[in-house]
Amino acid sequence: MEYQHIVVSVEDRVGILRMNRPDVLNALNRASMEEIVSALEAFDADDAVLCIVVTGNEKAWAAGADITEMADASAMEMLHRDQFARWERMKRIHKPIVGAVSGYALGGGCELAMLCDILIASETAKFGQPEIRIGVIPGGGGTQRLTRIVGKSRAMELVLTGETMSAEEAHRRGLVSRVVPVEVLMDEVMALARRIASQPPLAVRLAKESVLKAYETSLSEGLEFERKNFYLLFASEDQKEGMHAFMERRDPRWQGK
Ligand code: CO8
């Protein structure tokens, strides 16, 4: 498929999606949002891809929804476009998504980052929900996901002032799992993605679903969900292979079955 605003490639069973509107700091217009979600869905359906990496450029992951596209819209137009509901489709991607964030991750860009399963940031990354400064509020999950990650007080500060959070703070608060120099960001992210891609795919899928369930449900329901997924994996050939390979002191050969 031809894309206008993103560049996609596959390397070592990792699908790589690079946002590519550098002139506007990767601002997310409707067309680019559709391309991002469609490309993720295409990777999800592609048996040659086992892990997905999303990235931007050195200066910007994404500086938010495209303001020029929304500025003069009416409430009813926004309702009919319902463009931010597209992001909901990302929740249905089964394969793990690793975000490599450098530069601005603001507004809808920060919300897109929070939809990734793992985030690694460069030292230059800046996260924030600056919508208040242009007369609105986060609309793609910022008030909900950021609050769950950094807590009520800091989320309130960020959302009510529009100030940004450094990569170091994002790491301290658990938004990103690692901060690395910008020159090695993609190497580190690709090494991680390759490690994930070398694991048994069905277990990866159910592990991702189980971790995400922790955001959506009570502890007892989450534990039950996890346990059933654990038992379910005993229907896979990879479980037999993995456990027998361990007992036979050899490397397992995963089939994704
Ligand atoms: N929309 C459209 N254009 C943008 C955006 C944006 N969000 N951000 C930057 N640009 C453009 C600028 O207009 C400029 O274009 P031009 O060269 O033609 O003038 C170009 O990118 C470079 O930007 P700056 O000159 O401003 O670069 P600076 O380095 O001086 O500043 C900033 C960088 C601080 C990031 C600044 O550009 C900025 O404040 N941008 C807006 C950030 C923002 O408010 N984001 C929130 C937008 S609203 C939103 O995201 C609602 C989310 C709802 C859910 C969405 C789900 C996708």
Q: What is the pLDDT of residues 178-197, one digit of tens each?
A: 999 999 999 999 999 999 99
Give Cα separations from 150 to 164, 174, 175 (angstroms): 13, 7, 7
pTM of the model: 0.96
d(CA 169, CA 161) in angstroms, rounded, equals 17
Average pLDDT score over the chain? 97
**pLDDT exceeds cutoff 90 at 118:** yes
Q: What is the pLDDT of residue 87?
A: 84
**pLDDT exceeds cutoff 80 at 1:** no
Residue 142 beta carbon below 6 angstroms from any ligand 1 atom: no
What are the residue boundaries of the structural domains of the chain, listed by start? Answer: 6-197, 201-247
Pocket test for ligand 1, best of 24, 35, 112, 144 (most atoms within 8 A of CB): 24
The DSSP code sequence of 151-168 is -HHHHHHHHHH--EEEHH
Mean pLDDT to the nearest integer, 135-151 = 97
Q: Which residue is catalytic, options 56, 63, 111, 197?
A: 111
Give the start-end residues of each E strand in 159-213: 164-166, 178-180
Please check whether the two domains, 6-197 and 201-247, share a CATH topology: no
Superfamily of domain 6-197: 2-enoyl-CoA Hydratase; Chain A, domain 1 (3.90.226.10)
**Is residue 63 annotated as a catalytic residue, yes or no?**
no
**Is residue 11 annotated as a catalytic residue, yes or no?**
no
Q: Tell me, in angstroms, the distance from the centre of ligand 1 to residue 222's CA.
A: 39
d(CA 257, CA 254) in angstroms, rounded, equals 8
- Which of the following CATH numbers is that of domain 201-247: 3.30.420.40, 3.20.20.140, 1.10.12.10, 3.40.190.80? 1.10.12.10
Q: What is the pLDDT of residue 228?
A: 98
Q: What is the pLDDT of residue 83?
A: 82
Q: Tell me, in angstroms, the distance from the centre of ligand 1 to residue 42's CA.
A: 28
Q: What is the pLDDT of residue 199?
A: 98
